[in-house]
Chains A and B, each alone.
Chain A
Amino acid sequence: MIGKLLRMDSQRRRAMTTAYVVAEPIRCVECGICNFNCPLGIDVRGHARLGQPVADRYCLTCGECVARCPRGTLRLESSRVFDPAPKEGKG
């Protein structure tokens, strides 16, 4: 049981560290629901309307903004930073 919980926790941590919030600006109407629901007060909207990924070092990638946006502007995208490096001669 404890092993299962630890595994879930480690999966969750991995998801949180390897993803970041990206935006599709055409869907954004600057309503501010994302900012209002961000537990850290990050200006998600400021990024979203310009189509920039939320590259704030405090972002937990908790997904609150993604889930609350009424227009589907935001999504979590996995970062390739933690992927194993491609072997030489391939890719």
Chain B
Amino acid sequence: MTDTTGTSVEVRLPSRLGFEKVAMATAASVARLKGFSDERIEDLKTAVAEACINAIEHGNHLNENLSVGIILSTSADELEVKVLDNGSGISKQPPKPDIDRKVHGEEDPRGMGMFLIQALVDEAEWVHDSKGKGSYVRLVIRLDKENA
């Protein structure tokens, strides 16, 4: 395992669906260097993908002139991923998806992204830049959860 403590990796993606895979691969590489298990790396990949898709679709409205920033930072026992876009962020958390309502046509079948992010990482927060320069989602996975 490589000592990654205190390191930071940055990636910029065009706001085009599909490029979230670049962020997934980068996050997986850093998490692997940090010593996370395959199961946690898969969790992180899905959370990062959903955060990037939200940034591309809802933050930057698929405007390819805008980019999505990914900043991966490590400390002794955790990996933090920030996904930044030019949008105004979310005003409130959507309700938890209800599969019965979805299957019976009472709720949009979409709208699982934020739920998955929250379910798959140890910490997730959506932050609006008070200077109006965009927003970001911050995800954290912790090594101590590996043995939980």
A associates with B: no
